Amino acid sequence: GDKMLIAPSILNANNLTLKDEIKRATNAGITRFHIDIMDGHFVPNLSFGPQLVSDFKTEFPITEAEIHLMSNNPKVLIPAFVKAGADLLEFHYEAMQPNEVKYWLDYLKSNGVKAGLVLNPDTPIPVVEQFKNQIDQLLLMTVHPGFGGQKFLENSASRIKEARELVGKDIAIEVDGGINQQTARIAKDAGANVFVAGSYLFEKGDIASQIAKLTQSLS
Ligand code: DX5
Ligand code: ZN
C-alpha cells in the first residue's frame, strides 16, 4: 500500500512507565505497537511474555499489537500470543523448517491473526517466494536481532528492493533495526512501508516530537 506506518518498538522503553509512554504515542497518532518477544535462546536476550500483550489489549483495545517472535519454540509461544490478543504475529524463517513455516502461517490465518514472516539480514530474499500467498507482511531485519540501538545495515536497501519486486505491492514490507529519520527515508525509497523504531522514539527525547520528525521524513 501507499500508506506509511510507524510501529514503535517498546523493547527499550522504561517498563515501569510503559503505559504513559504508549498513551503519549497513541495521542501522537500511533495505531500499532511492535512488541519484541525474545526467548534467551534464538537471540541472546529476554523480553516480554503473553501477559504484557493481554494487558496491552485491555488498556488499548483499538491499538494493534504486532508481535515479533524471536524464538524457536513456536509450538508453545505462537498459540500463547494468539490467545493473549496478538493482532499480527510475525516469526522467523530461520527458526524452523519450511513445512513448519507453512503450518504456522495457516494457523495464524485460521485464528484471524495477520501473518508475517521475518528474515534475518543474511537470509536470501528468494526464500519468501514459497510463502507469498500466505503472508500479510514481510519483515526484513535491518540489524541482527537481539538488541535495540544497533546500526542500520548497509545492504538493507538492495534487499528491500529485491523483496518489493518479489512480493508485489499488496504485501506490507516492514523494516526493523536502526531506524531513524535518515534510514527510514532510505528504506521508504527502496520500497518499505512499515517502520519499526525503538531507541529513536524512546531514548532520544520527547516521544511525540520524535514521532513527528519520523513522520515528516516519510512524507
Ligand atoms: C531487535 C528488535 C527491534 C529493536 C529495534 O532485535 O527486533 O525491534 O527493538 O530497536 P532500534 O530501533 O533501537 O534498532
Ligand atoms: Zn523487532
Complex ipTM over 0.90: yes
CB contact set of 70 (below 8 Å; sequence gap of 6+): 36, 37, 38, 39, 42, 43, 92, 95, 145, 146
> What CA–CA distance (Å, rounded) separates 173 from 192?
5
How much distance in Å is there from the Cα of 219 to the middle of ligand 1?
A: 22
* pTM over 0.95, yes/no: yes
State residue 85 phi and psi, 5-degree precision. 115, 20
Is 44 close to ligand 1, i.e. is its CB under 6 Å away?
no
Please confirm, yes or no, whether 136 is among the known catalytic residues: no
CATH 3.20.20.70 is held by the domain 5-217:
yes
Could you read off the pLDDT tens digit of each residue along the chain, which spans 219 residues?
A: 468 999 999 999 999 999 999 999 999 999 999 999 999 999 999 999 999 999 999 999 999 999 999 999 999 999 999 999 999 999 999 999 999 999 999 999 999 999 999 999 999 999 999 999 999 999 999 999 999 999 999 999 999 999 999 999 999 999 999 999 999 999 999 999 999 999 999 998 899 999 999 999 999
Q: Please say whether the beta carbons of 18 and 55 come within 8 A.
A: no
Atom of ligand 1 nearest to the CA of 146: 6
Residue 57 CA to residue 64 CA, distance in Å, equals 8
Active-site pick, 2, 20, 36, 39:
36
Assess contact for 119 and 100: CB atoms under 8 A. no
